[in-house]
Chain A
C-alpha cells in the first residue's frame, strides 16, 4: 500500500461547479498535512495546510479525518484558473521527510 494515495482523475467540471478530492494516508502517526497545487510543467506551490479542526481559505476548504486517515479538499465555484494537479502531502514521521501523493488532475471547462 502506498503511503499517500489519491484518485488520479482527471476530474472534468464546468465553471462554477463544486469539486472534492480525497487523499488517504497509511501511517496513523502522521502529523502534518498539506495540499499543494502544480500547474503543467511548473513547480508545486502550497495551496493550504490542513488542520485538525478543518480550515477554509476563500473557495477552498480542507478537512482532516484522523479516524479514517484521509484528508479532503473542496473547491467551490470552480474557475478556469483552478485547472491544475492537486497534490496531497503528508509528513508521516514527525521528522521533515514529506510524502507527496501522485496528484489529482482537475480540468475546469468554460
Chain B
C-alpha cells in the first residue's frame, strides 16, 4: 500500500522564479492538504483540496496556489519566490468521503525548497 509521495525531493530556485511541487495521496484518500515547515518550526497550514476545489486556506498570500486533479493528486505552485519561502513543504492526505470524524492526515516525506 503506497503512502503519500512527493516530488521532487529537493529543489533550488532563485528569487522571483516560480516553482511547482507535486503530491500523490495515499491509496484510497481523496483529500490533500499542504503545509509549510520553516526550519525549527512546526508545520503551517497552506490550503486543503477536496473534489478538485480549495475548501480551506491558511494565512498565505495569493502567490501560493494549488490544484487537485481527478485522480486526487495535487500540485502546489509558488510564484515570485522570496528568500522566506525556503522551507520543507509537506503534503498530507486524508479521506473525507467516509464521513467519519477526525480523519487522520498522513504526511509525505516533503520537498525541501531552497530559494537563493
Q: Do A and B come from one complex?
A: no
